[in-house]
A and B are shown apart, each in its own frame.
Chain A
Amino acid sequence: MGQRTADRTIVPTRPGDLLRFAAVGSVDDGKSTLIGRLLHDTRQLFDDQLAAVGAASRRRGAGDLDLSFVTDGLRAEREQGITIDVAYRYAATPRRSFVIADCPGHVQYTRNMATGASTADLALVVVDATTGLREQTRRHVCIASLLGVGTLVVVANKMDRVAWDPDAHGRVVTEVEELAETLGLSVAAVVPASALLGDNVAVRSAATPWYQGPTVLDALEEAPAGVWSGAGGSRLAVQWVIRRPGGGRAYAGMVTGGPMRPGDAVAVLPSGQVATITGLSTADGPLERAAPGRSVAVELSDDLDVGRGDLLAAGDEPPTVTRNVEATVCWFASAPLHAGDRFHVKHTTRVTRGTIDTVIERVDMGSLHRQPATSLTENDIGTVRLTTADPLVVDPYRDNRVTGSFVLVDPATHATVGAGMVTRPVATEPDGLPAL
């Protein structure tokens, strides 16, 4: 590939040209150094930023230019040489633009990694080739997979430390393929690289004549951008009711799952009333079609009682209205999660109360098998059954990232303590509803 001509002057503007990826993997395997290297070698860093990184490196005795300092921007991170929270960086090459979430590797900061991965299309998995995959690497890949990230670009890092031994790369390839098969993920590439020296990051290395695959940058530029096309149809959760001068109301929210058009029939859920979209607009005027990700105002044919928290749904596969869901939960709090625990539940634009009926199982991070469990401890991933005070309007998470996700919030502190992904709406029995 040779020299790159990338810099900030080239900013693709098409949605398809944007790739959001999260750098994940275990602590000390070199994620931040890799992201720093990628930004440095594609000339995304400003002169003053580079000078500041150099000065900080020398001050902390980390050589002339420790590229991990590009994203490890907190004082504590530089002091401890670790990443505590996600750093977001923005980059553009001639081929596409990127939103990069550099995630922390420590197990105690798994909640921050999940934050970074929840909006990613792709995971850039950094593995130390001298040690292979660690439990924390598996945990991260597992979380990314549950969050809906379908594609991995894997970096077998620190290859300079094993004298560019093809067998070390081969061992990472074998482990990654096994993991990807277990989780049903696709692997775009396993790149033998050195983030420290820059080999095979943005520039092809002379040290790996035995490797024919892409560099890290090539792989990121070529990977499919993760456009989430919902299987269920178009949805819009009402955020705000806009009153038009002279009467009439419009329902403001963001389109998800599929495009919305005037003339579409929609169900207003949970009430089940039906109406036709008569107008679709932004403050700049009417739209003939609104793609997922657009914030719009919708006008309906009938004067219905619609408010914040209601969901407008079009298409042949309506979402389920239910007070009971089975969900995969990432648990972030230091106190364990048990049956009977109560929370605020935020799902789309609806906030209600919820209680955990049962903890069904948890994922063992060593084997990635699900095992029966009665509680989840901090950073565990498991399956629970949740009952809510008000009905939710849900799609399975695999069909729609927006209508399939919720967060659990501690009512005493208002801290977010869990992230849930609906695996299965459970039919609500008319009589046997648990009291809240």
Chain B
Amino acid sequence: MTSTLDPSAPGGWRHRAGGLDRPGDEDGADHLDLLESHAIFVLREVAAECERPVLLFSGGKDSAVLLRLAEKAFSPGRLPFPVLHVDTGHNFPEVLAFRDRRMAELGEELLVASVQDAIDQGRVPDPGPGGSRNRLQSAVLLEAIARHRFDACFGGGRRDEDKARAKERVLSFRNALGQWDPKRQRPELWNLYWGRVLPGEHVRAFPLSDWTELDVWRYVAREALELPSLYYAHPRRVVERDGMLLAVSEHVEPRPGERERVETVRFRTVGDATCTGAVRSEASDAIAVVAEVAASTVSERGATRADDRVSDSAMEDRKREGYF
């Protein structure tokens, strides 16, 4: 491999490709700077054009990057929109702690739409203690959108995550039922984003559309962004299920025939604890994760998400129903 990371380079992580160190241009603006600039542009457009936007924050790495970008877009002012967490109730404690710490730092309002409350009140069916609440999030999110009359939701979705996401617009229209119609997406030319909708409809806005998993990690390293500790290598009690390492917790107990053991792992994605797998890793900081992600031969969701293994079009089906 002829690629080396040069942490001493100004303006962040500079790569040497094929032994050639390309000199920086006069601005020191690199690919990450341009991705950052585009994301900030989208955040400002939607904030200016939509009546009631909201930023969806799960405590995962993509939404942590999104939140930092929102902070930058309106700095030194406050965020011109609230932050919403759709809480499955199947959380990793580190993620909730990170969420609360981050919101306290920002001094911003956090709204929580609780899947547990929706189950308790009979508004959505209970999938049982070990069942995934992934799909229920869609219904609970749409409820929150209707209740608060949100007309735009910022999400941390990226096109490199999944083949259905690869098709999605930066501003993605949702009808009055919250549905995405992939066969009838609206044209979206240049950087001319149209965020206005009729009452009851909304848009999902994805400022990180053109970022890859590697871009996100390079940005985390460059900005020294804090993430929940489970993104870095740590010893954890796990069981192996469907080829994935699931963290043993109150939500995931070993089943007959499964053997609990302690492994050194980290998480590549963070979602519902019952369907998010860990990967074996020794990467204990963002710089090590950049190297690990760059060399990975398995995709982020392929490695860690049982929810995408249900069928070949699992993501498309969930998105049609209103998923993130």
Which A residues are closer than 8 A to B by beta carbons? 5, 8-18, 46-49, 52, 55-56, 59, 70-71, 73-76, 84-90, 94-95, 97, 99, 111-112, 114-115, 118-119, 239-240, 242-245, 252-254, 259, 282-284, 287, 289-291, 293-295, 308, 332, 344, 346-347, 349, 351, 401-402, 405-407, 409, 413-416, 419
> Are the CB atoms of A13 and B37 closer together than 8 Å?
no
> Are the CB atoms of A409 and B298 closer together than 8 Å?
no
Query: How far does the alpha carbon of A335 sit from the alpha carbon of B153 in the complex, in Å?
Result: 31
Do A243 and B77 contact each other (CB < 8 Å), given the known contacts A94-B2, A283-B71? yes
Check B295 for interface membership: any CB of A closer than 8 A: yes
Q: Per a CB cutoff under 8 Å, which of A90, A294, A332, A401 touches B190?
A: A401
Pairs A-B, 3 closest by C-beta atoms:
A73-B163, A48-B302, A283-B72
Q: Which B35-71 residues have a C-beta within 8 angstroms of A? A: 36-38, 40-41, 44-45, 47-49, 71
Closest to B160 in A: A90
Instruction: For the A-B complex with A14-B22, A293-B38 known, give 11 more contacts whose Cβ atoms are closer than 8 Å.
Output: A8-B214, A10-B18, A11-B15, A12-B17, A47-B302, A52-B312, A74-B182, A88-B210, A290-B27, A295-B44, A347-B192
Residues of A within 8 A of B123 (CB): none
A-B contacts, 29 listed (Cβ < 8 Å): A10-B15, A10-B18, A11-B214, A12-B17, A13-B31, A15-B29, A18-B31, A47-B302, A71-B163, A71-B166, A73-B164, A75-B313, A85-B167, A88-B167, A118-B189, A239-B44, A239-B45, A242-B74, A243-B77, A259-B27, A295-B73, A332-B187, A346-B194, A402-B191, A405-B189, A407-B187, A413-B198, A414-B198, A416-B194
Which B residues are closer than 8 A to A by beta carbons? 1-3, 12-15, 17-18, 22, 24-27, 29-34, 36-38, 40-41, 44-45, 47-49, 71-77, 159-160, 162-164, 166-167, 169, 182-183, 185-192, 194, 196-198, 201, 209-210, 212, 214, 218, 294-299, 302-303, 312-313, 316
> Are the CB atoms of A291 and B25 closer together than 8 Å?
yes
> Are the CB atoms of A10 and B3 closer together than 8 Å?
yes
Q: Per a CB cutoff under 8 Å, which of A5, A89, A289, A407 touches B194?
A: A407
Q: Per a CB cutoff under 8 Å, which of B33, B49, B209 touches A88?
A: B209
Query: How far does the alpha carbon of A296 sit from the alpha carbon of B295 in the complex, in Å?
Result: 34
Shortest CB-to-CB span from A364 to chain B, Å, is 23
Shortest CB-to-CB span from A398 to chain B, Å, is 14
Residues of B within 8 A of A414 (CB): 194, 196-198, 201
Do A46 and B298 contact each other (CB < 8 Å), given the known contacts A240-B44, A242-B76, A244-B76? yes
Residues of A within 8 A of B298 (CB): 46-48
Closest to A12 in B: B17
Shortest CB-to-CB span from B271 to chain A, Å, is 17
> Are the CB atoms of A14 and B25 closer together than 8 Å?
yes
> Are the CB atoms of A283 and B75 closer together than 8 Å?
yes
Shortest CB-to-CB span from B321 to chain A, Å, is 14
Closest to B39 in A: A295
Query: How far does the alpha carbon of A295 sit from the alpha carbon of B39 in the complex, in Å?
Result: 9
> Are the CB atoms of A245 and B76 closer together than 8 Å?
yes
Query: How far does the alpha carbon of A252 sit from the alpha carbon of B47 in the complex, in Å?
Result: 12
Q: Per a CB cutoff under 8 Å, which of A73, A90, A119, A291 touches B212?
A: A90
> Are the CB atoms of A115 and B37 closer together than 8 Å?
no
> Are the CB atoms of A74 and B194 closer together than 8 Å?
no
Shortest CB-to-CB span from B306 to chain A, Å, is 13
Shortest CB-to-CB span from A217 to chain B, Å, is 14
> Are the CB atoms of A88 and B166 closer together than 8 Å?
yes
> Are the CB atoms of B44 and A252 closer together than 8 Å?
yes
Query: How far does the alpha carbon of A119 sit from the alpha carbon of B198 in the complex, in Å?
Result: 28
